[in-house]
Amino acid sequence: MIDIFTVTGLVLICTIFLCLYRVIVGPGSCNRLIAANTIGTKTIVLLVIIGYIYGRGIFLDIAVAYAMINFIATLAMAKYLEKGSVC
């Protein structure tokens, strides 16, 4: 059963690199923002998988904190791209 989660983690890492390519080369700022948000979401899932593989609950706490930071950062960047300032 652990092998399935290891393979899933490796596939997630590969797709994170694909999204990283979109962040670097993306055609527009909105596409880059969405790709960066996708990287954050996949990182959260990867943290949960790592926590399950190693049997550590602390990874779930880290994933929840990272999810909140990812959400707030995405909102701030979207507002900055729309209006030119965060305030």
% pLDDT > 70, the chain = 95
Indicate the pTM of the whole model.
0.85
Name the fold adopted by 2-83: Helix Hairpins (1.10.287)
- What's residue 81's pLDDT? 84
Instruction: Give residue 48's pLDDT.
Output: 93
Domain ranges of the chain: 2-83
- For helices 58-83 and 29-54, angle between their N-to-C axes, nearest 10 degrees: 180
Closest by CA position to 31, among listed 23, 39, 43, 42? 23
